[in-house]
Amino acid sequence: MTTKTKLIELPFDQYQRYRDVQEIADLARDKKPLKVLDVGGHPGIIKEFLTKDDATIVDILPCDTPNYIQTDGSNLPFEDDSFDFVCSLDALEHVPPGNREKFLNEMMRVSKNYVVLICPFHNENIKLAEEITYEFYNKTFNAPLTVLGEHLQHGLPELDEIKKIFEKKGMKPSIIPSGYLFNWLPLQIAKIYIQSLPDAQQLNAMIDKFYNTNYYELDHKEPSYRKVLVASKQTKNILSKVEKRFAPSSNGSKEEVKSFDTFSMLMSLFDLQHKNQMEGLTKELEKTHDILKEKDVHISNQEKIINDRDNRIQDLERWAAKVQQTVPYKLYSSVKKLKKSKSENENGN
């Protein structure tokens, strides 16, 4: 993946968070490349978004991407202030609760300036949305959705607790909503549904491309699936720039026109699949009917052959019975018996 075209086809949920980091890095960059660390960034997609910068990725999973280090985010192998810009995208919720503060402290330790944390935080609507998504995936594929399973297992981070961890280090973060929840949930359901269709990879990418192209800018509002926390040790004015960049559009009519009715889209997909299933079922029934018809013809032919054979046998039996009643046959039988008797007598002597 090396082109903007391919990036725009990333799953909408993934594209959103990396695009958010890209927008923040563009505001933070000061005429020279940023030295960036992405904690929990397997497999290294951030490199495709921050092409102007020098990015290092760490994660517990193995990977052969350049500048990738397999390590635990709670124990980073770097000196203090090693990076200009340290970020973590949808990773903290996968960290066991007891290790989350250490994970964040490590991010702040190795950053000389910017820290960006992106992840979902606990509230009842988000928890319910994840449970619905998890159950729908499970029912569709008869398998657990591992990523959300870890969310449900560990529980999502509490926003107030995370803010306090930042504030202990003198870093008060700005908080930006990202991923409008009332788009996030139905679109997740729609994409899971599409994944269940045969040869649907292209359709999935097309839907992501359409959403990423047209609705990214409108997705930074409450209620949001995740939050973007931006903090700085040195450049405090970056926070106001970030808040301005992601402020909801004041053009309400434009937003209303571009409102993404995901539930209507989802129902349309279900209706389309229902029609496809009915067409498929009709074709299968027609095919089965043709097969049965062919078998009926074959059976009928076999029955005719058997009946013809039985009739022939009966004709032969009747003909044989008539022959046995004729004078020549009776004479032939008498002569045959005499020959047999004579032969037996000669053998006896």
Q: Is the pLDDT of residue 304 over 80?
A: no
Considering only CA atoms, which of 262, 236, 324 is closest in space to residue 27?
236
Q: Provide the pLDDT for residue 323.
A: 56
Distance CA 44, CA 132 (A): 29
What is the per-residue pLDDT across 19-44, written as a single tens digit (0 to 9) for each?
999 999 999 998 899 999 999 999 99
Distance CA 154, CA 333 (A): 102
Considering only CA atoms, which of 149, 157, 209 is closest in space to residue 5?
209
Q: What is the DSSP letter of 9?
A: T
- As a whole number, the mean pLDDT across the chain is 85
234 and 113 in contact (C-beta within 8 Å)?
A: yes
2-6, 139-143, 331-335: which range is least confident on average?
Answer: 331-335
241 and 27 in contact (C-beta within 8 Å)?
A: yes
User: CATH 3.30.479.30: does it fit domain 4-260?
Assistant: no
Rounded to an integer, the average pLDDT of 310-318 is 70
Q: Strand, helix or coil at 229?
A: strand
What is the value of pTM for the model shown? 0.76
Q: Provide the pLDDT for residue 222.
A: 95
